[in-house]
């Protein structure tokens, strides 16, 4: 049932991975009676960074949170259309939401490590999945903390509380926690907005490395961050996808006027 969809947007230097790793088809989303997303269609490519930009309230975080069905924690929501991971609709009846959320990890805007030790934070996703073998957990901790560029800073204090870390370290811990599950996709909702510039640089460097292993979708308010970090950028406005193209192209020669107005700061 895998459709090979012709990618409607430009894709020069085609990436080696699947162009429609995560695909959105005719997707409408409602908070109760209020429609928040209108007929979204997009293909998110594998192992590249896709950025969602747009003014506040445009629906970018709403769409992001649909990818791992986190919006279902809210009462009264509904949707039409499909979101497909590797061709399979994530909203299908037989799908276990828990398994889906292990395949699609999320890093939140404000870092939220559990009030437990660093070690226990990283292995949380594995423990709830039933893994209790200590050597497996130890290996996962080292792999994830290295992957999040936190190993050197954390290796001597693995069993100390995670709340003793600095803001930037806590966010990298949340990234480590998310990648410990070895997800296929990593969703990041404004991961640097609560961080100082130095910590932001570290996380952005991290994103460059992580995309070798994970498909990344990042919501950001900071357009410079989008140009620094992402390969493709999607511009949303009032719940609609206005333009979706290679980052270089969208920021230099946007096709839609609204895109150009937002990028040049005429509104936002």
* Residues within the interface to other proteins (CB under 8 A): 68, 70, 73, 75, 98-102, 105-106, 108, 110, 112-115, 124-125, 127-129, 174, 177-178, 181
Task: Select 170 or 199, whichever has its Cβ closest to other proteins.
Answer: 170
- The Cα–Cα gap between 60 and 66 comes to 10
Q: Exposed, middle or buried: residue 93 (CB in 10 Å: 0-12, 13-18, 19+)?
A: exposed
Cβ contacts of 124 within 8 Å, gap of 6 or more: 114, 116, 177
**Least distance to other proteins from the beta carbon of 113, Å?**
8
Task: Select 110 or 143, whichever has its Cβ closest to other proteins.
Answer: 110
Task: Select 105 or 254, whichever has its Cβ closest to other proteins.
Answer: 105
**Least distance to other proteins from the beta carbon of 249, Å?**
32
- The Cα–Cα gap between 15 and 47 comes to 8
Task: Select 36 or 178, whichever has its Cβ closest to other proteins.
Answer: 178
DSSP per-residue string spanning 78-102: EEEEEEEETTEETT-TT--HHHHHH
Residue 50: CA atoms inside 13 Å, Cβ hemisphere, count?
A: 29
**Least distance to other proteins from the beta carbon of 141, Å?**
15
**Least distance to other proteins from the beta carbon of 2, Å?**
25
């Amino acid at each position: 049932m895998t459709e090979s969809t012709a990618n409607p947007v430009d894709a020069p230097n085609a990436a080696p991975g699947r162009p429609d790793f995560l695909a959105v088809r005719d997707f409408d989303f409602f908070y109760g009676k209020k429609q928040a997303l209108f007929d979204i269609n997009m293909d998110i490519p594998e192992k590249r960074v896709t950025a969602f930009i747009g003014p506040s309230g445009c629906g970018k975080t709403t769409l992001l949170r649909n990818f791992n069905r986190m919006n279902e924690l809210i009462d009264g929501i509904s949707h039409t259309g499909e979101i497909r991971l590797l061709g399979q609709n994530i909203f299908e009846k037989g799908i276990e939401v828990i398994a889906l959320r292990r395949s699609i990890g999320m890093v939140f805007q404000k870092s939220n490590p559990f009030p437990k030790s660093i070690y226990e934070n990283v292995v949380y996703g594995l423990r709830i999945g039933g893994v209790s073998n200590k050597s497996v957990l130890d290996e996962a901790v080292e792999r994830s903390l290295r992957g999040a560029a936190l190993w050197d800073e954390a290796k001597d204090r693995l069993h100390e509380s995670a709340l003793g870390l600095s803001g930037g370290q806590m966010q990298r811990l949340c990234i480590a926690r998310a990648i410990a599950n070895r997800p296929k996709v990593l969703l990041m909702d404004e991961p640097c907005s609560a961080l100082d510039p130095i910590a932001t640089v570290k996380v952005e460097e991290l994103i460059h490395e992580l995309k070798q292993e994970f498909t990344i979708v990042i919501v950001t308010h900071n357009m410079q961050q989008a140009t620094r970090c992402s390969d493709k950028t999607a511009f949303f406005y009032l719940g609609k996808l206005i333009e979706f193209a290679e980052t270089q192209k969208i920021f230099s020669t946007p096709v839609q006027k609204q895109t150009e107005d937002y990028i040049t700061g005429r509104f936002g």
